[in-house]
Structure 1
Amino acid sequence: MSHSVWIGVLAGCPVAHAQENHLPEIQVQGPRDASIGSADSASEGAVERESYQSRPKLRPGDIVEAVPGVVATQHSGDGKANQYFLRGFNLDHGTDFAVTVDGMPVNMPTHGHGQGYADLNFLIPELVSGVRYRKGPYFVHSGDFSLAGSASLDYFSALDSPFAEMTVGSHGFRRLLAAGSRTVQDQTWLGAIELEGNDGPWNVPEKLRKANAVLRYSQGSQTRGFSVTAMAYSSRWTSTDQVPQRLIDSGELQRFGSLNPTDGGKTRRISLSGKWFDKGPSGDTEFSAYAIDYRFDLFSDFTYFLDNPDNGDQFEQTDRRRVFGAQGSHTMANRIAGLDGVLSLGAQWRGDRIGEVGLYDTEARRRLGTVRNDKVSQDSLAVYGQQLVSFSDRWRGYVGLRGDALRYNVQGREPAFGPLNSGRGHDAQLSPKFGLAFAPTPAHEFYFNAGVGFHSNDVRGATITVDPKTGDAADRVPALVKGRGAEVGWRFQPHENLTATVALWKLDLASELVYVGDAGTTEPGRASTRRGLEATLRWNFDRAWRLEVDAAVSRARFKGVAPEGEGNHVDNAIERVLAAGITYIEGPLTASLRLRYMGPRALDTLNAVRSRATTLLNFGARYAVNRQLTLGLDVFNLAGRKGNDIEYYYASCTAGEVVSGSCSGGVNDRHVHPTEPRSVRISARYTF
């Protein structure tokens, strides 16, 4: 195979690029899924535009459910990041699932609420041109937070036509979106603005108020060009957090009731980014840079009156930071021992300047005391290289090496324990990667992948010496936690209208270390192992019909002998997921019916308490009345099932239990956040 052909193949392959840079007319089409001959694992791919755009989406973050095996839920207000599940992980808000939007990282390290916090509420789904994903630590381009997987979402540089769309729905939902672009010669301006409000089904109205805007300028040709993008987003809301199941069962609290009507928050995100690319005879070169200004305030109450019977247990978490970053890569054809190959080289830098990351005791959003108030600076630097070689028409493989280094400085400003928990340090890791692909026939391809990866911990846990709540001595944790993974897979693709994949995977973590933002401390956990099986089916069985099925089963266990009173189940680790959808696109009508099943899972390490299964059925349809007007209908939870978005098992104490004297150090119980009831949204889009 010639050098030019290899470059062409790799230009469309996720191994070569984290995201594509095309002329506007190419970006409008969106990416094609991975295929035999270009994919390097069974669990990587690209979601085609028709699939994710036709899906009914209750929240912007739901778009990541287009990644096979991913579940995105919510346990608080719609201004808070989703709760993610994948490959035997309750990923919290993104600890081991890395997300980028238009080349910018979404995950936040050393965040006020949780490590790796990935808030996608600034996303405008209609602008997304492609969703690319990888799973496992097998590729050099993926770094922090990508042990379970990663997703790259790109925005269009140009739209087919400008449009304005209005949506109204159940529970006070309303949304206005206007977007358009204009191209003159090789220069394109794109702009979009979104306004949204929602009260939700909650007894205490959510009062979501959201504003969002995007402005992009792009210029160039198919082989060379650049773009500059500005984004601005702000949101405020009142949240109904999880509540004890015992109160719902006794009738003391309604299913959508709240125990603290002052919970909620506000957030803001402003960014400026730029990308430049050059696709020439010597290879493909890309460079991008970004700057993000981020603000976050969150008031939560999960234990009610357990710790403070007088004022309650509400707390505030804050985050004030600026994020700067740059990355560059070069991909070129080469020859090794007479064999055709492709060499990829790259470097990445990210710097977080956190002016305040804080935790405060509050009552009705009024501060009562400071638990932690820190100023943090951390820089991560990575370099990587990957060599792909074609051994024959049937065999190809790659080897890669990634090096990551982290430096951090924590300055505690809380008078009592802040100086004791301050400090600076560094950590580093080398991560080798390997992959092999074998295609015995044009319709079948087999894969083997292995690699080392990591996730970072909140660096406050790497400098801590004293528990800020109790004053007791606290154990420090490493800044980087290593993980090792491997996978065997098979892809069946007899023709372009049918693709099936199967992947058998395993992942070992050195420690389930998690910074607990709700308490301001780090809990060192035991080593763990996960393994599972995933299968996908994509079938265009007719010109108008498309069937999609994703199934995943996984098993997560702690290693070694369990401490007394504990077991080896990793609590809240997802075990079974099934997602299926059928889409009809013919003439003016587009319709999609989607089912998502999330099976029971252990809520404690003994597996004595298990969650309930949740099944949701959603329907969406669009009908083009004429060239200008398109009407839409979305029905969420079509069957009206009473499930839970999340379930946790822990001790809490309500005001009534304090008065009656039945608290006794806390009542262990399920704490649930229900799925939303059946709701309807209708929309009208006018295209200019």
Structure 2
Amino acid sequence: MQLAPRPDPRPCLALRPHALVLVLCFLGAHGARAQQTTAPSHLPEVEVSGPRDAAIGVADSASEGAVERESFRARPKLRPGDIVEAVPGVVATQHSGDGKANQYFLRGFNLDHGTDFAVTVDGMPVNMPTHGHGQGYADLNFLIPDLVSGVRYRKGPYFADNGDFSLAGSASLDYLSALDAPFVETTLGAHRLRRLLAAGSRTQGDQTWLGAIELEGNDGPWDVPERLRKINAVVRYSQGSPAQGFSITGMAYRSRWNATDQIPERLIDSGELPRFGSLNPTDGGNTRRLSLSGKWFDNGPNGRTQFSAYAIDYRFALYSDFTYYLNNPALGDQFEQTDRRRVFGAQVSHSLPNRVAGLDGLLSFGAQWRGDRISEVGLYPTAARQRLATVRNDKVAQDLVSLHVQQFVTLSERWRGYAGLRGDVLRYDVSGREPVYGAANSGRGSDAQLSPKAGLAFAVAPAHELYLNAGVGFHSNDVRGATIRTDPQSGLPSDRVPALARGKGAEIGWRFQPDDGLSVTAALWQLQLDSELLYVGDAGTTEPGRASQRRGVEATVRWKASPRWRYEADAAVSRARFRGVAPAGEGNYVDNAVERVFAAGAIYTDGPWTTSLRLRYMGPRALNTLNSVRSRANTLLNVGARYAVSRELTLGLDVFNLAGKKANDIEYLYASCTASEVARGECGSGIEGRHVHPMEPRSVRISAKWTF
């Protein structure tokens, strides 16, 4: 049977920060009394505990599951987006300021900021198509990890209800609808890290209000202080019972920051630039995200029906400088990327038991719509954040409409399987407003794809199960690449690309689960892409890519050894290659494709003590298609401890990069030129070499949490 979403009655309303403070005061004053005197009937207990992991007899693949709240809440998290590392095999790093989306790696992909890894929060998509910085940009900085009830994940294009950006995998993060008690938590750390979080909920009858507000500031270890400043808020109202309910949720997020982008390693080696230095102190950005969403569900005698809708208002401006003085020796190569959009969407699904050829089954079907109304997606050369010219300035409208159906069948006591079909139609309209090439690069069009899916499960023994899964999927390309005619930088003709890029994958998996305390999974998988097309936001053009193939093996272990000890371990080995004969001067390695990932952790709980130790290793990878230059491995060790002094007060200590490793979060190979190199006449057509963004040094954070 399919991993079905939990009944999710929860609320929200967009309020200004000062109004949220009043709401939280109200929740804090009345929440505990209300929860004690009124027995809530809309699943707060289920929501607090979060989802349960996939199990034998229920799971449909070896690479799907759910990470329970207890497993990830004790882990130290340097950034909000680090929570996706709860998904086995996923690595989340950063190559710029902490207000920017993470850099993600999974299954032989350098996913950039989210392409081919679909993320949703509370049912709303996070990935942004046709984004100013990069296709599928998934910024999780608006997330409040303390409110996440669980992380459900799938890997591979095997399920009909997963669509755009989910070729490599998907992660669904759900928020709690009720808290055990209202609380206020303060955190102080190295490099002027300050964080304040206040949250609470109030339940009366079948109605619950939940509110939270977060304030954070951080300078980071960089020579140019990051000066991250952010405010984050959530308000939710939910009502109903396990049979039927609804919720309304509002979220508000705003941040601004300075950024230290990657720098040439040659300058670090020569001593010309400190490891945490910057070549442009005016890099950085600001972003805003407001959302209102609603959910309704009904579990009746005729099956389960779910409906959800959302509206998002999004603003983004980013100032970056990766090549310094290579293209403009006088003013520098800084550029601004902007994105202003409103996103609207809705989805409905229904599932009901049925019979197929005399066999018990479950039929699921649904429809999805997402509409992006982008008033400005632009690229501008800048100097000290002042615009010098316009490369691209476009107005874009795009709609993705999807239908999906999937039939599950119990074939016998040991065999079960499913077959599904998904259809997607993308329509787009690009209006170029750059005066020279804008009209030529404008246009409208559509693209469509049918994606079949299938899976089979066989119970070898009560504790062993085997899986076979296969499917076709896709990711959308930046639609500006589907209408482009002329390279806006050079004025030369530019080839158009399809709006939807097709991929197909398959895997064989095994799950061993002798009891609730131990789960072992393994999967052998492969994935083929028709092309590695990429819209390059830094240049305003489409970078053509070749067909590729990835394959690998993954294994996970989850073991509750005793009431005190919980152990976890994940390992993933991948191989990514371009298919066909390599062009002259190139090889078949997919540059920056992750090859080896290993993670392990232990959580110890004894009375008032909770301690977590987490190790993550990411191995070397090719930095060019010839594999002549490779990145270095990096190993990160974090430790966290919590001590409940009393029922009201809990103290915390987190240590990041405990071993003090001098590794890099990201490495690239390309040509650049600095101002000093221009002055010395060393530049020419650029100096090729490694460009790195260092992993943050050892740092400590302490926290105090007051529960009311």
> Is the pair's TM-score, using the shorter chain for normalization, greater than 0.5?
yes
Q: Give the structure 2 partner of residue 265 of structure 1.
A: 285
**Mind listing any 5+ residue stretches in structure 2 that lack a counterpart?**
10-41
Which of 499, 505, 509 in structure 2 is aligned with 1:489?
509
CA distance in structure 1 between the aligned counterparts of 2:329 and 2:44, rounded to whole angstroms? 59
- 1:567·1:606 contact (CA, 8 Å) conserved in 2? yes
CA distance in structure 1 between the aligned counterparts of 2:148 and 2:653, rounded to whole angstroms? 20
Q: Give the structure 2 partner of residue 280 of structure 1.
A: 300
Which of 688, 695, 706 in structure 2 is aligned with 1:668?
688
Q: Give the structure 1 partner of residue 623 of structure 2.
A: 603
Q: Give the structure 2 partner of residue 4 of structure 1.
A: none
Q: Say whether 1:17 aligns with 2:37.
A: no
Q: Give the structure 2 partner of residue 296 of structure 1.
A: 316
- Give the drift of 1:281: 1.1
CA distance in structure 2 between the aligned counterparts of 1:684 and 1:184, rounded to whole angstroms? 29
Three-state SS of the structure 2 residue aligned to 1:63 is helix
- Give the drift of 1:42: 0.2
- 1:18·1:141 contact (CA, 8 Å) conserved in 2? no
- Give the drift of 1:23: 2.2
- Equivalent residue runs for 1:113-152 within 5 Å: 113-152=133-172
- Give the drift of 1:542: 1.6
Q: Give the structure 1 partner of residue 102 of structure 2.
A: 82
- 2:8·2:295 contact (CA, 8 Å) conserved in 1? no
Which of 328, 336, 349 in structure 2 is aligned with 1:316?
336
Three-state SS of the structure 2 residue aligned to 1:462 is helix
Letter in 1 for 2:615: L
Q: Say whether 1:231 aligns with 2:235.
A: no
Q: Give the structure 2 partner of residue 677 of structure 1.
A: 697
Which of 609, 614, 622 in structure 2 is aligned with 1:589?
609
CA distance in structure 2 between the aligned counterparts of 1:25 and 1:397, rounded to whole angstroms? 32
- 2:421·2:450 contact (CA, 8 Å) conserved in 1? yes
Q: Say whether 1:199 aligns with 2:258.
A: no
- Give the drift of 1:177: 0.1
CA distance in structure 2 between the aligned counterparts of 1:489 and 1:586, rounded to whole angstroms? 35
CA distance in structure 1 between the aligned counterparts of 2:72 and 2:7, rounded to whole angstroms? 17
TM-score, length-normalised on structure 2?
Answer: 0.95
- 2:8·2:247 contact (CA, 8 Å) conserved in 1? no
Q: Say whether 1:62 aligns with 2:62.
A: no
Encode CA deviations 1:2-61: one digit per residue, 9 max, x unaligned: xxxxxxxx5xx42x4388556222201111100000000000000011111011000000
- 2:263·2:279 contact (CA, 8 Å) conserved in 1? yes
CA distance in structure 2 between the aligned counterparts of 1:207 and 1:326, rounded to whole angstroms? 37
Letter in 1 for 2:111: L
Which of 517, 520, 538 in structure 2 is aligned with 1:518?
538
Which of 632, 641, 659 in structure 2 is aligned with 1:612?
632
Q: Give the structure 1 partner of residue 233 of structure 2.
A: 213
- 1:323·1:352 contact (CA, 8 Å) conserved in 2? yes
- 1:19·1:154 contact (CA, 8 Å) conserved in 2? no
Q: Give the structure 2 partner of residue 632 of structure 1.
A: 652
- 1:547·1:583 contact (CA, 8 Å) conserved in 2? yes
Letter in 1 for 2:243: T
- 2:259·2:284 contact (CA, 8 Å) conserved in 1? yes
Q: Give the structure 2 partner of residue 6 of structure 1.
A: none
- 1:19·1:103 contact (CA, 8 Å) conserved in 2? no
Encode CA deviations 1:601-622: one digit per residue, 9 max, x unaligned: 0000000000000000000111
TM-score, length-normalised on structure 1?
Answer: 0.98
- 2:7·2:297 contact (CA, 8 Å) conserved in 1? no
- 1:241·1:258 contact (CA, 8 Å) conserved in 2? yes
Q: Give the structure 2 partner of residue 7 of structure 1.
A: none
CA distance in structure 2 between the aligned counterparts of 1:593 and 1:378, rounded to whole angstroms? 45
Q: Give the structure 1 partner of residue 676 of structure 2.
A: 656
CA distance in structure 1 between the aligned counterparts of 2:673 and 2:255, rounded to whole angstroms? 31
CA distance in structure 1 between the aligned counterparts of 2:642 and 2:503, rounded to whole angstroms? 44
Q: Say whether 1:358 aligns with 2:381.
A: no
Encode CA deviations 1:521-579: one digit per residue, 9 max, x unaligned: 00111000000000000011122101100000000000000000000000000000000
Q: Give the structure 1 partner of residue 369 of structure 2.
A: 349
Three-state SS of the structure 2 residue aligned to 1:28 is helix
Q: Say whether 1:333 aligns with 2:353.
A: yes
CA distance in structure 2 between the aligned counterparts of 1:76 and 1:421, rounded to whole angstroms? 30
Three-state SS of the structure 2 residue aligned to 1:354 is strand
- 2:316·2:339 contact (CA, 8 Å) conserved in 1? yes
CA distance in structure 2 between the aligned counterparts of 1:590 and 1:348, rounded to whole angstroms? 42
- 2:423·2:448 contact (CA, 8 Å) conserved in 1? yes
CA distance in structure 2 between the aligned counterparts of 1:645 and 1:265, rounded to whole angstroms? 20
CA distance in structure 1 between the aligned counterparts of 2:195 and 2:235, rounded to whole angstroms? 19
CA distance in structure 2 between the aligned counterparts of 1:421 and 1:216, rounded to whole angstroms? 43
Poorly superposed stretches of 4+, deviation over 3 Å: 16-22
Q: Number of paired residues? A: 676
Taking only aligned residues, the RMSD between alpha carbons, in angstroms, comes to 0.8
Encode CA deviations 1:571-607: one digit per residue, 9 max, x unaligned: 0000000000000112111110000000000000000
- 1:18·1:152 contact (CA, 8 Å) conserved in 2? no
Q: Say whether 1:553 aligns with 2:541.
A: no
Encode CA deviations 1:502-523: one digit per residue, 9 max, x unaligned: 0000000000000000111001
- 2:8·2:246 contact (CA, 8 Å) conserved in 1? no
Encode CA deviations 1:395-449: one digit per residue, 9 max, x unaligned: 0000000000000000000000000000000000000000000001110000000
Q: Say whether 1:434 aligns with 2:454.
A: yes
Letter in 1 for 2:55: S
Which of 195, 210, 223 in structure 2 is aligned with 1:175?
195
CA distance in structure 1 between the aligned counterparts of 2:615 and 2:49, rounded to whole angstroms? 27
